[in-house]
Chains A and B, each alone.
Chain A
Amino acid sequence: MKYGYFPGCSLKGTGRAYEESLLPVLRHLGVELVELEDWNCCGATAYMAVDEGKACALAARNLALAERGGFQQLMAPCSACYLVLNKTQHYLDESPAMRRKVEGALGTVSLKLSRQTPVRHPLDVLLHDVGVEAIRQKVTRPLSGLRVAPYYGCQVVRPYATFDDQANPTSMDQLLKALGAEVVDWPLKTKCCGGSLTGTLPVAGLRLAYLLLKEAKKRGADAIATVCPLCQFNLDAYHDKIAARWEPVRLPTVYFTQLMGLAFGMPAHTLGLQRGFVPLELPAPTAA
């Protein structure tokens, strides 16, 4: 299994723990990732709102690079990248005018878009290409006794529910169960983490993060598992501010790939776990 890999800026910055865990875990499962040469910013959701044409061209350059690199599929682990690249593809399919514009822009740098390169999320690949059973077989240190609230955030299932249900996704639930963790069922799987509001309108943004943490704690979770760098940051980085304004709701928020690595027996520091603000504590392994 070989995929083009589009890390996006987060996985090289605030979300580097995601990349640090994703790469070894996928390698362990026989999935080969080849980083796209000379990739650029996906434009995130903000640029789309400013100038659709330019935003599409920016994102489409990455799709064209994937095509030039001969990749049949492109993996985008960051939720924002995943959404923007998919959205660009939809726009190009639905609007011939937009396609002309973007193809014109790409043409000036000798790039072209002649075919579809499906943009996949690691969750989708793990569940549908690798398979839960293959993952279960690699587990050497089951996460028994760890109660995890699976948190998908908004972008991986909305608006395009390509691999899971929009209102009640379950792909990560299945994955976590295969790792031996106890899955906490909660209704906030796809609620907003606050997004960039934590920067622009902190009271509103932090309140959303606070409500999520509070509910996960209330339902007995030991940790929240996330698939998105921004979600991880918002739920992990503002505990002091949340405690000051509302109440303390300390709870570790980790990438699902970090939990996979732990269950595969990889040492915590090789998975970027030391980077979190609220450390994850695993329950003592039960005597088998």
Chain B
Amino acid sequence: MANGNGNNRTSPERRPRIGFYVCHCGVNIAGTVDCAEVARYVGTLPGVVLSRDYKYMCSDPGQELIQKDIAEYKLERVVVASCSPLLHEHTFRTAVEKGGLNPFFFHMVNIREHNSWVHTDRAEATAKARDLARAAIERVARHKPLETKRVPIKPVTLIVGGGIAGIHAALTLANAGKQVILVEREPTIGGHMAKFDKTFPTLDCAACILTPKMSAVGAHPNIRLLTYSEVVKVDGFVGNYKVTIRRKPRYIDEEKCVGCQDCISACVFKQPKFTDEFNEGLGKRKPVYIPFPQATPQVVAIDSNVCLNFRNGPDGSRVVSDKCKKTCVEACGDRNAIDFTQKERFEEIEVGTIIVATGFQAFDAKRLPAYGYGRYPNVFTALEVERMVNASGPTGGHVVLRDGKTEPKTVGIIHCVGSRDKKTNRWCSRVCCMYSMKLAHLIKEHTHAEVYNFYIDIRTPGKGYEEFYNQLLDEGVHFVRGRVGEVTDWAITPEEEGKLVIRVEDTLAGVVRRIPVDMVVLATGLEPRSDAQEVRRLFNMSCGSEGFFLERHPKLAPVSTFNDGVYIAGACQGPKDIPDTVAQAGAAAAEALSLIDKGYVEQEPNTAFVLEDECSGCKSCIPLCPYSAIQFDDARGKAVINEALCKGCGTCVGSCPSGSIVQNLFDDEEIFSEIEGVLAYE
């Protein structure tokens, strides 16, 4: 394939004139590395016509120094030894380009993250800096001129996940006139927030502030809403992603369904009988259902796992049996919205940018058997209680015990269940203190029960949060400081008979207490969704050690990922409350918007290409390419690499048995000279 880059191989006979700069980075580098010594040493190497040390190379005077020296000393190559190329490679390449050289006649040496920050011995760190610099000098002499290419951005954004993060990001972009495709796995958007009754600390009704945004998404001309759908494949690169979406059959024609719900009333199951996921299993639903009154889209779904019109097929999947009387179809009548023949479909879309907002899952309280969830009926999770206090919930807004009718007189809320715990999850889930206090307030309001909060520390760093805590103290909610040891039905006094006993070390009073209660609420923490690793691979992102998606930089690029054009927002990046989630969603939308409005991306030229004469056509490289960038040209019997898709990972280069694949910036000559440089003995 014709390739402007990399074909001008330099002859090594004549050494180009090299300029070398070593940066002090204040004391970040100079504190451990003797920079003047490194500069002196590198100045003695062949080809180096100039060698300097300087306090801050990234500063404007530092950059101007490079430009000035290129002209004055007729430099042909530049090496800077400083921080990680992730931070300033672009800065220095630009400076070199402004000085009149090809920007790739530059190489950067990391003597901070890879050296001064991780070593303490000054002599050894200085020796290491000399070795790394020598390798760079050898390498840069062999650099070839390369060009960056511009690729246009498709002005469409894919948003994955229809919780409050995805909703807010979608509306922000759509209101700016951009096209959005919002994909949600469940039959409705709304996410966790749709399940909440009130939001802390203002206690405004969650549905009242969320549902207007949900309807706006449903009605927006710039938003295409794909519910009950999942992303299964992502190909391409920033600006030009090809995404495959699996549309699960809901057995309802979304265009024809008007949301009248006549089919639900007409279902042959007169009473709801099946676990209602939306109500955390506290309520029941029918096989044909709508998750909650304000669901968006207002379209029912049929659960083929329990609908009588389906049976198990030979491979275990559900197939139509046509055994049901189909009273739902009758009720739907001329609207004809019910379609039992629907099959799973795959749809391919093209987008330029992607925002991943897949949220969290609540910690499974059964993982801590000491708290008795699943063993003692009156131990609840916080989400269950959220549904109970909600007027549209399974108990119509009444907080009751598992028998469905008795109001609790005493309630214990246990904080940090599956948070701040070496045995489960080590992190603080950030929202539990506040939602526990919110539930304490609501339970007290609904039942007048005595409410105890068992906490390790109360964490209220948010606007109005500490004030809310003080309000709870005034309301007479009890706060006991200590991690609860266990919840038991072991009564040793008459008052404890028939109750759940919470055993806790009260660390303020310095005593072990047994507190009998009617109901226990477990404030379960937030954790990455169980399929976070698969999603990470799908979008070529990274996860932190705890499993949340990793941002490009914890402070300065909090919504970017290491995959250009893919952004993250909300609790999939780490536990956060609604205000922070919305702020992040707005930030992710702004990042996508700035790319779209710029119109193009510059592509790194460190791509691989095939030396046609040497390629034997063995095809061994093709299945190895993680980006599907290699095709086979049948007519010529050669492998061809699509430069636009190649990410420069080098896998094909290493695997090619005939050595006929070369990668720009990483050709054999460059790499071997670098190795020789680092190993050369003084």
A residues neighboring B (CB under 8 Å): 165-168, 186-188, 211, 215
Q: Taking the complex as formed, is B421 at the interface, i.e. its CB lies under 8 A from any CB of chain A?
A: no
19 CB < 8 A contacts A-B? A165-B369, A166-B369, A166-B370, A167-B368, A167-B369, A167-B370, A167-B486, A168-B369, A168-B370, A168-B375, A186-B490, A187-B372, A187-B486, A187-B488, A187-B489, A187-B490, A188-B490, A211-B492, A215-B490
**Which chain B residues lie closer than 8 Å to A188 at the CB level?**
490
Which A residues touch B375, using CB under 8 A?
168
CA distance A149 to B372 in the complex (A): 18
Q: Which of B456-478 contact A (CB under 8 A)?
A: none
CA distance A166 to B422 in the complex (A): 14
Per the bound structure, the CA–CA distance linking A187 and B372 in Å amounts to: 9
Interfacial chain B residues near A167, Cβ < 8 Å: 368-370, 486
Give Cα A211 to B503, complex, Å: 16
Number of interface residues of B (CB under 8 A): 10
- What residues of A have a CB within 8 angstroms of the CB of B492 in the complex? 211
B487 nearest CB neighbor, chain A only: A187
User: What 9 A-B pairs are tightest by C-beta distance, nearest first?
Assistant: A167-B370, A168-B369, A187-B488, A167-B369, A187-B490, A165-B369, A215-B490, A188-B490, A187-B489
Chain A residues lying within 8 Å of B369, measured Cβ to Cβ, are 165-168
Give residues in B with beta carbon < 8 Å to A: 368-370, 372, 375, 486, 488-490, 492
- Expressed in whole angstroms, the minimum distance between the Cβ of A4 and any Cβ of chain B is 31
Chain A, residue nearest B367 (CB): A165
Most chain B beta-carbon neighbours within 10 Å: one of A186, A187, A188, A211 = A187
Minimal Cβ-Cβ distance residue in B for A187: B488
Give A165 to B423 CA distance when docked, in angstroms.
12
Report how far A192 CA is from B490 CA in the complex, Å: 14
Residue of A nearest to B376 (CB): A187
Known contacts A167-B368, A168-B370, A187-B488, then 16 further A-B pairs from the complex at CB < 8 Å, ordered by chain A residue: A165-B369, A166-B369, A166-B370, A167-B369, A167-B370, A167-B486, A168-B369, A168-B375, A186-B490, A187-B372, A187-B486, A187-B489, A187-B490, A188-B490, A211-B492, A215-B490
A-B contacts counted at CB < 8 A amount to 19
Name the residue of chain B whose CB is nearest to the CB of A186.
B490
> CB-CB < 8 A to B489: which residues of A?
187
| B370 surroundings in chain A (CB, below 8 A) | 166-168
Q: Specify the main secondary structure of chain B where it touches its partner.
A: loop
Assembly CA distance A211 to B490 (angstroms): 10
Give Cα A196–Cα B486 distance, bound, in whole angstroms. 24
* Bound complex: CA A215 to CA B486 (Å): 17
Residue of A at shortest CB range from B488?
A: A187
Q: Which residues of the other chain, B, contact A166 by a CB distance below 8 angstroms?
A: 369-370
CB proximity of A198 to chain B, nearest CB, Å: 19
B492 to chain A, nearest CB (A): 6
B368: chain A residues within 8 A (beta carbon): 167
A168: B residues at CB distance < 8 A = 369-370, 375
* Complex CA distance for A75 and B486, rounded to whole angstroms: 31
Q: How far apart sit A168 and B375, CA to CA, in the bound complex (Å)?
A: 10
CB B571 to nearest CB in A, in angstroms, measures 28
Q: CA A167 – CA B486 in complex, angstroms?
A: 9
Which residues of chain B come closer than 8 Å to A186, judged between CB atoms? 490
- Tell me the smallest distance from the CB of A201 to a CB of chain B, in Å: 17
Which residues of chain A are within 8 angstroms of B490 by Cβ–Cβ distance? 186-188, 215
Determine how close the nearest CB of chain A comes to the CB of B377; give it in whole angstroms: 14
The CA of A211 and the CA of B372, in the complex, are separated in Å by 20
A166 to B492, CA, bound (A): 23
Q: Considering only CB atoms, which chain B residue lies closest to A212 in the complex?
A: B490
Q: How far is the CA of A167 from the CA of B375 in the complex (A)?
A: 12
Report the Cα distance A263→B489, complex, angstroms.
31
Q: State the Cβ distance, B552 to closest chain A Cβ, in Å.
A: 36
| Residue in chain B with minimal CB distance to A218 | B491
Complex CA gap A281/B368 in Å reads 37
Q: A211: which B residues are within 8 A, CB to CB?
A: 492
Question: How many whole Å from B264's CB to the nearest CB in chain A?
Answer: 40
Q: B372 contacts which chain A residues (CB < 8 A)?
A: 187
List, in ascending order, chain B residues with CB within 8 A of A165's CB: 369
A166 to B372, CA, bound (A): 13
B484: min CB distance to chain A, Å: 12
A251 to B370, CA, bound (A): 26
Nearest residue in B to A185 (C-beta to C-beta)? B375
**CB-nearest residue of chain B to A191:** B490
For the complex, give the distance between the alpha carbons of A211 and B488 in Å.
Answer: 14
How long is the Cα–Cα vector from A38 to B243 in the complex, in angstroms?
Answer: 69
Residue of A nearest to B370 (CB): A167
* Nearest CB in chain B: distance from A246 CB, A: 11
Within the complex, the shortest CB–CB distance from B498 to chain A, in Å, comes to: 13
- Expressed in whole angstroms, the minimum distance between the Cβ of B443 and any Cβ of chain A is 25
Measured CB to CB, the nearest residue on chain B to A165 is: B369
For A211, the closest partner residue in chain B by CB is B492
> What's the Cα separation between A167 and B372 when bound, in Å?
9
* Bound form: Cα–Cα A188–B491 in Å: 11
Residue of A nearest to B501 (CB): A187
Choose among A167, A186, A188, A211 the residue with the greatest number of B CB atoms under 10 Å from its CB.
A167
Collect the chain B residues with CB atoms within 8 Å of residue A187's CB.
372, 486, 488-490
How far, in Å, is B459 (CB) from chain A's closest CB?
Answer: 26
Closest A residue to B375 using CB positions: A168
Q: What residues on A are CB-neighbors of B486 within 8 Å? A: 167, 187
Q: How far is the CB of B488 from chain A (nearest CB, A)?
A: 4
Nearest chain A CB to B613's CB is how many angstroms away? 56
Identity of the chain B residue whose Cβ is nearest the Cβ of A215 in the assembled complex: B490
Question: Within the assembled complex, what's the spacing in Å between the Cα atoms of A234 and B489?
Answer: 24
A167 to B368 Cα, complex, angstroms: 8
**Minimum C-beta distance from B516 to chain A (A):** 14
C-alpha spacing A186/B491, complex, angstroms: 11
- Report the separation of the CA atoms of residues A187 and B379 in the bound assembly, to the nearest whole angstrom: 15
- A165 CA to B372 CA in the complex, in Å? 13
The CA of A159 and the CA of B375, in the complex, are separated in Å by 23
- Bound together, the chains give a CA A187 to CA B503 distance in angstroms of 13
CB distance from B30 to the nearest CB of A (A): 35
Q: Nearest residue in A to B371 (C-beta to C-beta)?
A: A167
Chain A min CB distance to B187 (Å): 36
Give the residue name and chain of the A residue nearest to B372 (CB): A187
CB distance from A217 to the nearest CB of B (A): 13
How far, in whole Å, are A167 and B492 apart by their CA atoms in the complex?
19
A277 to B355, CA, bound (A): 71
Q: How far is the CA of A186 from the CA of B488 in the complex (A)?
A: 9
Q: Which residue of B lies closest to A161 (CB)?
A: B423
A66 to B489 CA separation, bound complex (whole angstroms) = 43
Residue of A nearest to B490 (CB): A187
Q: How far is the CB of B421 from chain A (nearest CB, A)?
A: 13
Interface centre among B369, B489, B490 (most CB of A within 10 A): B490
- How far does the Cβ of A168 sit from chain B's closest Cβ, in whole Å? 4
State A211–B368 Cα separation when bound (angstroms).
Answer: 24
A188 CB, min distance to chain B CBs, angstroms: 6
User: Closest A-chain residue to B486, C-beta based?
Assistant: A167
Q: How far is the CB of B486 from chain A (nearest CB, A)?
A: 7
A165 to B371: give the CA distance in the assembly, Å: 13
Distance of A167 from chain B, by nearest CB (Å): 4
Q: How distant is A212 from chain B, measured CB to nearest CB, in Å?
A: 10
Bound-complex Cα distance A189 to B132 (A): 61
Chain B residues closer than 8 Å to A215, beta-carbon distance: 490
A1 to chain B, nearest CB (A): 30
Tell me the bound Cα distance from A165 to B490 in angstroms: 19
Q: In whole angstroms, what is the CA distance A18 to B657 when docked?
A: 67
Q: How far is the CB of A99 from chain B (nearest CB, A)?
A: 24
Nearest CB of B to A172, in Å: 15
A167's nearest neighbour on chain B, judged by CB, is B370
A167–B487 Cα distance when bound, in Å, is: 11
